[in-house]
Every structure is written in structure tokens, then in C-alpha cells.
Amino acid sequence: MVGIKICFLRYLFLLAGGGALAWAAMGSFAALVLIPALCAGVLISSLGPRDVHRWAFFFQMSWQTLCHLGLHYTEYYLQERPSMRFCITLSSLMLLTQRVTSLSLDLCEGKVKAEARGIRGRSSVLEHLWKTLPYFSYLLFFPALLGGSLCSFQRFQARVQGSSSLGPRRSVWALTRMGLQILGLECLKVVLRKVVGAGAGLTDCRQLQCIRVMWSTAELFKLTYYSCWILDDALLHAAGFGPEFGQSPAGEGYVPDADIWTLETTHRISLFTRKWNQSTAGWLRRLIFQHGRAWPLLQTFAFSAWWHGLHPGQVFGFLCWALMVEADYLIHTFANLSIRSWPMQLLYRTVTWAHTQLIMAYIMLAVEVRSLSSLWLLCNSYNSVFPMVYCVLLFLLAKRKHKLT
């Protein structure tokens, strides 16, 4: 453990760095992040454990929804392209929502002990500042302001108050490895972008050609996500918030967002869903799925669409994703009971792998497109056959399961 003064300076440095980075990246739009962070910090330090999560969740999602409505107004009503600074602000605001609700859940569940409750006590201003500074620093600390996997408050506090257990040599090696991964992904992006640019698009593709267009475009999106996630993890690692020495990258406390091998090789949509943006998937499972009484899976994906901004493609894509996951559970349960011979299992895994990759490519394009015309082109293409097959199997297997019970 380090001294109190050093901890205070570290919290202050992370908070000041977050404010400076917000102003540099967002300009005047930084107020849209700083204001809710200030309000969330006041709510967290003022309310009791029973009320803090409800009020923090309501305020944060209301504020974020209003900002997303501003984006809708610009894109769909004014039909103008939003500024890059405003888009960066919305992305940072979504990450702030994760940290606010994660911290409020920790307080509600007793995982984090509340240090302050209001300003009416006899404690001095400096003492009260010391008690609330970790909250504000956590909400705005600069390594996670613009990206990165979700860091819990307990982990954040432990790393600020403790000394790093990762030696300089190991840290340099880990950062070098991440840099090489990013370089390789960027090279693949250049090659794939040339392939996508040279061929037809969704607007002029024909029949089975649209499948190749969909897959290659989705792979380009995936490579971009992989590269950004590794870069974000590298920044967290360099700032001292990466995995501790001796801890596996997927160990408890640190959850990297990119598990490229699993995402590219799995034949199960449910596993793909758990591994895609892992820290966000875990946050959604804890925030919505574990508290859902009726249709928790549908509630989780519906909330995910809300959190992402409720664009038409996102609403369609996430609801389709929920159906595919539900179908995946039934299909693989039935297959595990029915398929015995290893040649048939190999064939089954090969077919379901290809089907999983194509369905996820379909969902990814639906989520990424912004115009209704592009969404209609996707739905009206041969690509819709893949999710439709799973929808039919979902209906038949659910009906069979209902008869058996």
C-alpha cells in the first residue's frame, strides 16, 4: 500500500487527465460528459445503498437518451452528418453509463462500502473531498474515458492504492505484443478494404454474390473492432490497469474485450455473444439479465439497443440477435442428444460454424447501417435466409419441447 498523500495525488491526476482529455477530444461537447459525471458522483455519495442504483440508473440513461435523440434529430430530421466530436462524446457517455451503473450496483449489493453520505456531517471539506474523490476519479479517469474494457471500482481503487506488480520488462513485452497484433490487424484491413472496394456493394450485388459482400464487409467491421479493443487494452495496461503478473488475461477482475480466436472459430452463437466485447457482455448480464424475471434474454438485448441509441438497424439487429441466441440453445441441445458418430459431429460443427459466422455478419451489418434503405436492402437480399433458417428451427424445436413437457 502507498501513502494517503500519494493516493490523493493519483486520484487527482487521473481525474485531471480525464478532464483535459475530454476537452481536447470533445471540445465544448465535453460538458455532456462532465455534467452527468458530476451529478452521478453527487448521487452516489449522497444516497443510501437501497436507492443509489435506481436513481443513478434513471438519471444516467435519461441523460444519455436525450443526447442520442439529438443525434437522431441531426441524422434523420436535418439529414446532416454529425460532427466527429459529438460522436466521440456519445461513445464516452456510453462508457460513463457503464461505470456509473457498475459502481451503483456495487454499492447496492454491498461489494463497495459507502464512504460518505451527504455533506451535513461535521467532517471538514478536505475530509469530504477525500471520501468522494475516488468516485469522481473513477468515473472520469483518462485511460478509460474514450474506450477500454470495463474496470470495476474495486479494481480501480486497488490499483490506485497499491503498487504495480508488473515489472517494466514484462510490461514492455506485453505492450509490444499488443502493438504487433494491431499492426497485423491493420494490414489485414488494408487488404480486405481493397477487396470490398473492388467488388459490388449491397446496392448492386446479385443473388448469391450478396453473401460474399455481406461477409467481407462484416469482417472489415470486425477487424476494426479488434484493433480498437486491443489498442484500448494497451492504454489501460500502460496506465497500470491491466492484468496483474501471474493472472491470466481472462482472469477475474480483468476482462479483455477481444478474444479473436474464440470469435472466429466458435460454432455457437451463444458463445460468440458472451465473447463479443466481453466486459460489456458481462455488464449487460449483471445489470439486466440476472435481474430479469420474464424473458431476461429479450430484456437484455432490448436494453442493449436502447443503450446503443435505438437506431432502426440497432433495434432490428439486437432483437434478431436475441432470437438467434434462443435458437442456438435449442439447436445445440437437440444436436448433442441426437448426433453420436464423430463424422456427423464434424459435419455438424462445420455447418454450424459457417452458419454462425454468416448470421453474425448479417446482424453486424444490420446494427451498423444507419439508413432504412440500407436496412431494407439487407433484409431483402439472400442473406436473410440464414437467420430465417434458425427462426424456423426455433419454432419447430420450441414446439417439440413444449409437447415433451
Q: So which residues are the catalytic ones?
A: 277, 308
Handedness of CA 204, 208, 209, 212 (dihedral sign): positive
Largest CA distance in the chain: 74
Three-class secondary structure of residue 188 per DSSP: helix
- Residue 36, C-alpha cell as written in the block: 452527468
Using an 8 Å Cβ cutoff, are 79 and 142 in contact?
A: no
Output the CA angle 226-289-91, nearest 5 degrees: 40
Using an 8 Å Cβ cutoff, are 181 and 234 in contact?
A: no
Q: Count of residues for the chain?
A: 405
Q: For 281, phi and psi rounded to 5 degrees?
A: -60, -40
Using an 8 Å Cβ cutoff, are 160 and 10 in contact?
A: yes
- The secondary element (H helix, E strand) that includes residue 371 is none
DSSP class per residue in 194-262: HHHHHS--TTT--TTHHHHHHHHHHHHHHHHHHHHHHHHHHHHHHTT-SPPTT--TTSTT---S--HHH
- Residue 29, C-alpha cell as written in the block: 461537447
Q: Which residues of 149-178 are buried (b: 16+ CB within 10 A; e: fewer)?
A: bbbbbebbbebbbeeeebeeeebeebbeeb
Handedness of CA 1, 13, 36, 130 (dihedral sign): positive
Separation between Cα atoms, residue 366 and residue 344, nearest integer Å? 33
DSSP assignment, residue 76?
I
